[in-house]
Every structure is written in structure tokens, then in C-alpha cells.
Amino acid sequence: MKINVVESVLKANDAVAAENRRRLSAAGVLAVNVMSAPGSGKTLLLERTIPRLAPERCAVLVGDLQTTRDAERLGSATPLVTQINTGTGCHLTAPQVTAGLDSLALDGVRYLFIENVGNMVCPAGFDLGEHRRVVLVSVTEGDDKVAKYPTLFQVADAILLTKVDLLGVLDGYRRERVYEDISRINSRAPVFEVAARTGQGLDPWLAWLQAQRSA
């Protein structure tokens, strides 16, 4: 008896992701998939990053289950913003990104930021067609999250330790623990300490982005 097997959802996603990547590369756009738990500071980081990079060269796709609040916030940084509402989906998928790309005029755009749905597990498994993956973890989440949720950090091309302006008010936070855990899980990703609120640490992050585009 022949057993019919539906090839994995992941395989179908990956084919669309590969096409997204081809399309973005052909347009000269560096696509960066930005992932973290809800509230780690993805949107504020992008609100502060885009004006420094040149707003007219940046576009954003932003995923959330509901609302257009992040797109409204990011709209003050660039007009090229599309909100993707996933309903119950805990991560973006490559076809959703294709639809998002169809909604944006990418002429002259050099950076596409894809703010994924806030989640520390699911987004790691889904290629969207990005060129780089960036993972945020805020100091307010505690110093144990890298060790507890390794999958997201394993796939990161860069890791941002965010909200470092709040380090002084956190009792018992051990930064060296975070670095030890990262070195065990991912020794290739650079770690940037940033506070989008104050602008602290943004220069090395911006330089990294520019270097990725040149590469």
C-alpha cells in the first residue's frame, strides 16, 4: 500500500522563503528578521534605528496577533510599514512576508526589517527569506532566558541585550551569566548591549547593520 505523506509545512515554507530571499537580493535589499519575546524592545529599537540609517531606505513588516499599534509607532520613522496580523499564529511565515512585500514599494529601499511576532520559541523554525536573524533579550526578562530558550539564540546572527539603561535597578542580574550561556549556545553571533530609550550602544549595532549590507 502506498502511503501518502504531506511533505512538511516547513518544506513548503522554505520554498517560499527562498523565493522571498531571491526577490529581496535582486532588489538590493538586506532583510533582517528581528525576533524576541513580547516586550523586549523590538519596536522601539527599530523606531530609533531607522532614522539613523536613513528612513527613505528602510521598510518594515511587523507581525502581531492583533492590532496595528506597532505599525502606527513605526510610521513616524518610515512610511514604508506594513502590519501583518497573524490571528492566532505565534510566528510569521514566508507566504505572509511575500504578501507584505507585495504591499511595499521597495525601489531605493536598502534595509527591510521584519519584526516577528513576540515569541521565544516558534519564530526560530520558520525561514522568512531574510538574510540575517537578530535576537533581542532584555535585561528585565532576567539573566536565565538564553539558557532556558536556546533555540532562538542558536539561529541568531547577532544578539542584542536590550534595556541596559535599567541594569542599575535590577537586583541580582548577572550579566556574565548571559554571556556564558550565549558562548555555549552560539559563539559566532556578536552581542550588542543597547538601550534604545537613551541611545546607548546604538552605534556598534548600526555599524554591524551597514557591514551586513556591504557583505
Binding-site partner at residue 36 among Mg ion, ligand GDP, none, CB < 5 to 8 Å by type: ligand GDP
Q: How far is the CB of 186 from ligand GDP (least distance, A)?
A: 20
Q: How far is the CB of 183 from ligand GDP (least distance, A)?
A: 24
Residue 180 is inside which H or E element, if any?
helix 175-185
Q: What residue has cell string 511595499?
A: 104
Angle at CA of residue 134, ends 130 and 135, nearest 5°: 135
Q: How far is the CB of 128 from ligand GDP (least distance, A)?
A: 17
Binding-site partner at residue 31 among Mg ion, ligand GDP, none, CB < 5 to 8 Å by type: none
Residue placing its CB nearer to ligand GDP in the complex, 29 or 196:
196
Q: Which residue is nearest to ligand GDP (CB)?
A: 41
Residue placing its CB nearer to Mg ion in the complex, 43 or 93:
43
What is the maximal distance between C-alpha atoms in the chain? Answer: 66
Can you tell me the distance from the alpha carbon of 61 to that of 87, in angstroms, rounded to the nearest whole number?
A: 16
Residue 162 is inside which H or E element, if any?
strand 158-162
Among 182, 192, 203, 207, which Cα is nearest to 162's? 192
Q: How far is the CB of 191 from Mg ion (least distance, A)?
A: 21
Residues that bind Mg ion (CB under 5 A): 42-43, 70
Residue placing its CB nearer to ligand GDP in the complex, 16 or 62:
62
